[in-house]
Structure 1
């Protein structure tokens, strides 16, 4: 718990001058960002998170399992993270953990929210793993407007470092601005765009600017977007739907959404133990049935009781007492 007085990055709970636990109000102590806010007085590592309509306080569990045809699907990794950490930052950690235990697959089926073209290229280069997931669709303003040229309408000349627009004009600037994402930006002259008869279908600004990935990543992105529209790719990717059943098994069969321990490390222990239990259940179903036990040879006393029609007692102490 943050014991400091009102400040920026602190918790939803704080201690006043009398060391009393108080709820932090926006008008008195100020509310911190959700990534730093302590939302439980019992666990200082729990964080608030929201995914769509789902809201919770705690942690995230990322489950990895095998999906080979004809074999038992075995859980190979469970990674526990802070609830506010994005899935895309967790996937590199998962692959590193699998690599350390020599459990890397040839193909790794992932959720679209985990995948980026840059990391798809990195995973193939560093781990030799092919990531299978839906590459994000084009989300720029132009395609959302409808009837406006998308970047695919522009022809890229990689060697000359120029871009040609649908009207035949070439860009006058090619740059790679500093950014977390390795994008290239190509800009056109204002004079060319102002006099262009297709300007209404291209941009609302004075001149059009087109951004795209470097050549190697651009090719991967284009191939992935084209491939994921085919029925063959959709059939392959349908394997990933099996993990939803596993999550349901974790949640409804083992109550994994109820944290039995405090702190992220101890919650991870719960997740791992749950995965072990699920694996044992799955393996147990596929084990051959135990052979039937052969009845034991009757003892002399049992044989005597049977020959004289005397019922066998449940306890040998009773039998000894009767015999005496």
Structure 2
């Protein structure tokens, strides 16, 4: 889909909704649609990043959207469930609010209540597409998660393609494993990058599927630790039985708590008096007292073990097998246009990804098959053999073998 600006998105949604109504009940739009609407919404919107009269366009489009939604709600209740009408209503809520004078007001980035990018509609023509970000890459559409085999003596075969909207990799991964388990394709080890791995997920996968996840666990970084001006969390000694933590300067923590949250972290706080008198306080924290957070004992031990292991040469050599999937993704994107969906909707995009994976598998397997035997020419017919016997010239064909005259 084309990347629309916020104003283009609202304007295109305002064009698409009357388009839907004109197909279903054109006579009901008589008296509502004016010449101004024909000038503003008579064709697909193309405004660009710097449109002329932006404030006027924002005001006029907001008033037109609200008028149309009120008209449909009051006089066309049977058409309220239309896909484009519902998309217009949601897109209007994403970008406008109603001020004290009961007028639509454009919401700025600094205003509260803006819709999260994970659920915000990015196109009125595909309500399942979402904004996605991976590293430095930004796109609107869907994410494809590709899984393939990595046995050294066999061709790498794609075994699973999962198409999702803007879902974090750690949330998409359990569904990937569930699909592989349903197809009886679980492996003993699964190689992933740091985006798919967490300590909790590593425990869950090992417990439910008996699969070992091989991948790096990210170190928790802060602004101070990135600059190297603060003691890292690993520099603190933890006494699990006494529920105490000792800092590198020998100070003992005062408070140990586990607040309710989705992530079971333990928060530890050191006494303010001890931190204020510490000679290295400026190299530790800018607050009155240092606070440290870490996982409970069992996941903390797993986290420490994995981080220590992933520094070894053997682990890096093992995890290097995962690098092959980057070539597969590049083949999908640059060779088969994976990021240009030919149909609208997540389900149809998934079908395209699956068919592309099948084509890639056929191509890969074909390169490992033994070469086909050479095609044998046909034996000459009786008449052709008679011509050769009598030395009578005849047209030669590559399909027919030539027998010497005798």
Report the alpha carbon displacement of residue 209 of structure 1 after superposing the two structures with TM: 1.5
Q: Deviations over 1:13-65 (max 9, x none)?
A: 23476497697976644524433333334322222323344232211111000
Q: Does 1:123 align with 2:205?
A: yes
Query: Structure 2 CA distance, aligned partners of 1:162 and 1:134?
Result: 28
- Equivalent of 1:310, from 371, 393, 396? 393
Tell me the CA shift for residue 255 of structure 1.
2.0
3-state DSSP class of the match of 2:306? helix
* 1:158 Cα deviation after fit: 0.8
1:188 corresponds to 2:270: yes
Q: Are 2:129 and 1:46 equivalent residues in the alignment?
A: yes
Which of 234, 258, 264 is residue 346 of structure 2 equivalent to?
A: 264
**Alignment partner of 1:218 is 2:288:** no
Return the alpha-carbon distance in structure 2 between the equivalents of residues 66 and 274 of structure 1. Answer: 17
Which 5+ residue runs of structure 2 have no aligned equivalent? 1-9, 19-31, 46-53, 63-91, 96-114, 398-406
Select which of 143, 149, 153 maps to 2:235: 153
Question: Please, which runs of 5 or more residues in structure 1 have no aligned partner?
Answer: 1-9, 315-324
Q: Which residue of 2 aligns with 1:73?
A: 156
Cα deviation, residue 215, structure 1: 1.0
Partner residue in 1 for 2:85: none
Identify the match of residue 187 of structure 2 among 69, 93, 105.
105
Aligned residues: 304
Paired residue for 1:34, among 110, 117, 131? Answer: 117
Distance in 2 (alpha carbons) for counterparts of 1:270 and 1:254: 10
Residue in structure 2 matched with residue 290 of structure 1 by the alignment: 372
Contact 1:302/1:312, CA 8 A, preserved across alignment: no
Distance 1:26 1:187, change over 3 A: farther
Relative distance call for 1:33 and 1:212 in structure 2 (3 A) is: closer
Of 349, 356, 361, the residue aligned with 1:274 is 356
Q: Which residue of 1 aligns with 2:218?
A: 136
TM-score computed with the length of structure 1 as normaliser = 0.85
TM-fit CA distance, 1:123: 1.2
Question: Does the CA-based 8 Å contact 1:177-1:184 persist in structure 2?
Answer: yes
Which stretch of the first structure deviates more once superposed, 38-47 or 257-266?
A: 38-47
Between stretches 28-37 and 269-278, larger displacement belongs to: 28-37
Going by fraction, where is helix more abundant, 1 or 2?
2
1-structure distance, mates of 2:206, 2:270: 35
CA distance in 2, matches of 1:141, 1:180: 24
Calculate the TM-score normalised by the size of structure 2.
0.69
